[in-house]
Each structure stands twice: as structure tokens, then as C-alpha cells.
């Protein structure tokens, strides 16, 4: 293979993406160097002539922003192409100041990569404004641009820096925990703990102790004092999923915690102050549970200072292609070590389906399709349950004699009205056949 004169350095802590980029660039006849960390990248830069840096942003210890800044000051004429899963507006501005020529959002096609490489090498001495090749979300894992989902993102933006309690309501599989994480990790308390608790998965008799901790000897088996989830989340956020499953006793304690901002361990006499943001979620109708006396009304209003309705996927169909891209990239790299395409016919089917299981069902569907496909996800890789089903009307119930006549007619039609042959098949003589036909 005759390589072009340009040397390209690829930097990404994900070895699968690193090797994929290397194969794609070598297929375009570029000579490549690869590094899994910024430290390794700097060593390569010092010892080799590099014509283009292709780097991810999110990396442990030292991130891609620092590498870009390093290159802009030590190798000011070297163009930089950023390849990442998402970017904030602030990040785009920082990259524009540092000489980043272009930006690719994963997933991308080989053609998009080629065009970005060509553009970066042509503009290797100029500093251009960053152009994002695909729409990106500020909230990392929260993907969607539909009107219904933009309402959710707007509320997240308003509450992320305050510790008001938030109640997220929505069907199973709509991403309620992702919304809770976005509230926590995009605000000023992001460095504080985030503790997720599934209230429906903990036995009722243990939930109080798990949430608030217990003292030694508080009950049989309590051989030592132990903190609960609330203590672990102190200073940060506790996410109480399936809050509708909490017992009346736990509801009473939780109401006191929200009112007094203090907790008491099981078996303790003294209260401990707590500084915590509570985000609760449920797929139940809490107001209906309130009317049934299964959930405290005063606790409901304490939890629902801010309410977020997680929209079902059927109400945000325009987000399906974005979610499909995300899951195809995720499982394509995990299972196939490459990006896969989705045929227009398969995507049309995914857009038509109502998705009663919401995003979780879509992810499972794409995961299976990636496993079953090779290069492209086709209609044949989509489960039959998602495809159009004909609702055949049930046949009316008839008498045994009428059923017998229908069957005789079917046999006669099959043998071309040959009565001798039909009588043989039916195991009767011609006279009996005539009698049955005339009845």
C-alpha cells in the first residue's frame, strides 16, 4: 500500500474506537499513530512529525481539551479534528479558540470522516469556527430534540443548580433515572454523591434501615452500626425510584426528613442533620394513590415541588432516529467492533411502531438486531412482533353438519369435483357422498 505523506495521530481511551479509526484512515492510505491517553499522545508528538491530530474529548486524568490547548501552543500550525459523542456550547467555543478545524459527532460514516480529514488538512494553517456535523444534546445521555423532550430539558436546566425536590413521573422505560442523573451531573453539585435507590426492589421490612441506617443492636442481625443511603448521599442527590411502593411508615419518616432536614437511624435517639436533594420517580399515578389512601397527600406535595413528565416514546417519534443511532453505535462497537447502518425500510418500521416499552424496548430491539446483522440492519433483523399484524376475524361457530358440508366441499374442490376420488379420501361410498351433499 502506498501511503500518503500525511501522518495522523489518533487519541481515544476507547480501544475499539481507536482501532476502528485507525483501520478507516489506513484504508484512505494515511499513516497513523495511535494513543490511548494524552500522556502517550504527547510522547508521540515529541518524537514524530504529525500532520493532523484526531482526538476525543472525554478521557480520564487528562482530557482532550488540555491536549488541544497543548497542541495549539506547541504545534500551532497543526490542525485538530475532534471526534466525540457530545459537546457543550462552552466546549465548542474553547475548541474554536484553540484552532480546531472541524468536529465529528459519533456515530459518523466513513465518508464523513474522509471529508473532515480532507478539510482539516487543507486548512492546516487557519483557525476556523467549529462546525458540529450532527445535533448534540447538552445533557450527555439524554438524546432528543422533539418538542415534548425539549420541555424536559428546559426544566432540568432550571432545577440543576438548586436543591428543590423533584418528582419525575412516566411510564416504565422512559428514562426517569437518566433525567435524575442529568439534573445532578449537569449542575453545581455534580462532584457530590449521586445515590440511586429502587424502593420497589427492597423488602418493606428492610427499606427504613437501608434508607436511614441503623445502630448496633437495633434488630436481630444488626451486629454493627451502619449508615444508610441518605447518609451516603449527604451533600448531593438521592434518587428514590418507584417511590409509590414505599410503606406508610417510610412515607411518614420521609415526610419528616423533608420537613426537618434531619434523619434518625433505626434504634437511635438523636437526629442527624442532612443536606440533600431528593429526586423521586414513579410509574404510578401518585394522585390516584392519594385518593385511595395509599400515599400521603402532604408527602406528595413535598415531593412535587417541581414535576417532570417523562414523555413516552410514542409522543416523541422524531427522536427515534437519534436514539437508534446511539444504540447502533453502542452495540455495533461492543459486539461487532464497527459501525453498522440501518436500512430505510427498517427505520420506517421503527418509526411506525408504538413502543409500549418505550426507550428500554427500543434499546433491546436494536441490541438484538445488531447481534443478528452483519453490515446493515434490515427488516429481517427486526422482531416479528413489531411488524404489521393482520387481525383476521374469527370464524362464526356452526353446527357439526354444516362443518361436515364445508369439509366435503373443500375435498371436492381439491380433486376437481371427482366424486369417486373424493369418496375415497373421505372413506365413504359415492351414494353416501351424494346423500350428504343433498342434505
pLDDT, tens digit, for every residue of 337-363? 888 899 998 998 999 999 999 999 999
pLDDT at 127 over 50: no
147-311: which CATH topology?
Rossmann fold (3.40.50)
For residues 202-212, give the mean pLDDT.
87
Rounded distance, CA 339 to CA 335, Å? Answer: 10
Domains 7-122 and 147-311 share a fold: yes
Pick the CATH number of 400-438 from 3.40.50.720, 3.30.420.250, 1.10.10.60, 1.10.3720.10: 1.10.10.60
What values do phi and psi take at 103, rounded to 5?
Answer: -145, 130
For residues 37-47, give the mean pLDDT.
85
| pLDDT on residue 363 | 96
- In the numeric block, which cell numbers belong to residue 322? 437519534
| pLDDT on residue 205 | 80
pLDDT at 100 over 90: no
Q: Which residue has the cell 443511603?
A: 229
The ranges assigned to domains in the chain are 7-122, 147-311, 316-386, 400-438
Domain 316-386: give its CATH architecture. Answer: Orthogonal Bundle (1.10)
pLDDT at 297 over 80: yes
| pLDDT on residue 132 | 38
Specify burial of residue 117 (Cβ count, 10 A radius: 0-12, 13-18, 19+): buried
Rounded distance, CA 409 to CA 91, Å? Answer: 77
For residues 188-215, give the mean pLDDT.
89
Mean pLDDT of all residues belonging to the chain: 85
pLDDT at 1 over 60: no
Confidence band, pLDDT 50/70/90 cuts, at residue 91: low
| pLDDT on residue 49 | 86
Lowest mean pLDDT among 72-86, 156-170, 384-398: 384-398
- In the numeric block, which cell numbers belong to residue 156? 432540568
For residues 309-320, give the mean pLDDT.
95
The listed range with the strongest mean pLDDT (18-22, 278-282, 384-388) is 278-282
pLDDT at 133 over 60: no
Confidence band, pLDDT 50/70/90 cuts, at residue 167: very high
Question: On the CB side of 120, how many CA atoms lie within 13 Å of its CA?
Answer: 29
| pLDDT on residue 391 | 63
pLDDT at 319 over 70: yes
Q: Tell me which CATH code domain 7-122 carries.
A: 3.40.50.2300
Condensed to tens digits (0 to 9), the pLDDT of residues 222-275 reads: 888 889 899 999 999 999 999 998 889 889 999 999 999 999 998 888 889 999
Is 230 within 8 Å of 238 (Cβ atoms)? yes
| pLDDT on residue 168 | 97
Amino acid at each position: 500500500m502506498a501511503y500518503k505523506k500525511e501522518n495522523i495521530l489518533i487519541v481515544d481511551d476507547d480501544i475499539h474506537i481507536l482501532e476502528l479509526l485507525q483501520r478507516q484512515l489506513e484504508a484512505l492510505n494515511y499513516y497513523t499513530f495511535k494513543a490511548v491517553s494524552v500522556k502517550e499522545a504527547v510522547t508521540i508528538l515529541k518524537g514524530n512529525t504529525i500532520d493532523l491530530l484526531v482526538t476525543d474529548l472525554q478521557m480520564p486524568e487528562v482530557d482532550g481539551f488540555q491536549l488541544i490547548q497543548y497542541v495549539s501552543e506547541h504545534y500551532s500550525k497543526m490542525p485538530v479534528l475532534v471526534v466525540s459523542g457530545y459537546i457543550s456550547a462552552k466546549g465548542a467555543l474553547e475548541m474554536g479558540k484553540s484552532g480546531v478545524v472541524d468536529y465529528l459527532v459519533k456515530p459518523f460514516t466513513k465518508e464523513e470522516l474522509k471529508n473532515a480529514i480532507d478539510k482539516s488538512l487543507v486548512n492546516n494553517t487557519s483557525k476556523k469556527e467549529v462546525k458540529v456535523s450532527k445535533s448534540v444534546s447538552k445533557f450527555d445521555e439524554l438524546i432528543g430534540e422533539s418538542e415534548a423532550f425539549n420541555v424536559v430539558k428546559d426544566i432540568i436546566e432550571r432545577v440543576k443548580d438548586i436543591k428543590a425536590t423533584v418528582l419525575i413521573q412516566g411510564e416504565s422505560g422512559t428514562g426517569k433515572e437518566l433525567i435524575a442523573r442529568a439534573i445532578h451531573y449537569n449542575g453545581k453539585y455534580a462532584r457530590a454523591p449521586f445515590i440511586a435507590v429502587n424502593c420497589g426492589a427492597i423488602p418493606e421490612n428492610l427499606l427504613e434501615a437501608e434508607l436511614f441506617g441503623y445502630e448496633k443492636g437495633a434488630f436481630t442481625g444488626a451486629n454493627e452500626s451502619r449508615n444508610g443511603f441518605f447518609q451516603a448521599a449527604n451533600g448531593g442527590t438521592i434518587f428514590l425510584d418507584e417511590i409509590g411502593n414505599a410503606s406508610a411508615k417510610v412515607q411518614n419518616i420521609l415526610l419528616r426528613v423533608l420537613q426537618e432536614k434531619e434523619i434518625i437511624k433505626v434504634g437511635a435517639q438523636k437526629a442527624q442533620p442532612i443536606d440533600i436533594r431528593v429526586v423521586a420517580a414513579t410509574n404510578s399515578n401518585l394522585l390516584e394513590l392519594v385518593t385511595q389512601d395509599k400515599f400521603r397527600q402532604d408527602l406528595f406535595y413535598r415531593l412535587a415541588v417541581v414535576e417532570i413528565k417523562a414523555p413516552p416514546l410514542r409522543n416523541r417519534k422524531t427522536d427515534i432516529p437519534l436514539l437508534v443511532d446511539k444504540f447502533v453505535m453502542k452495540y455495533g462497537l461492543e459486539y461487532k467492533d464497527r459501525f453498522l447502518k440501518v436500512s430505510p425500510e427498517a427505520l420506517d418500521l421503527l418509526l411506525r411502531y408504538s413502543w409500549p416499552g418505550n426507550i428500554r424496548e427500543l434499546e433491546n430491539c436494536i441490541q438484538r438486531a445488531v447481534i443478528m446483522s452483519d453490515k446493515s440492519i434490515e427488516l429481517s433483523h427486526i422482531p416479528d412482533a413489531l411488524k404489521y399484524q393482520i387481525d383476521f376475524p374469527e370464524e362464526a361457530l356452526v353446527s357439526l353438519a354444516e362443518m361436515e358440508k364445508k369439509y366435503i366441499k373443500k375435498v371436492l374442490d381439491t380433486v376437481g369435483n371427482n366424486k369417486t376420488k373424493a369418496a375415497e379420501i373421505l372413506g365413504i361410498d359415492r351414494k353416501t357422498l351424494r346423500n350428504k351433499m343433498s342434505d
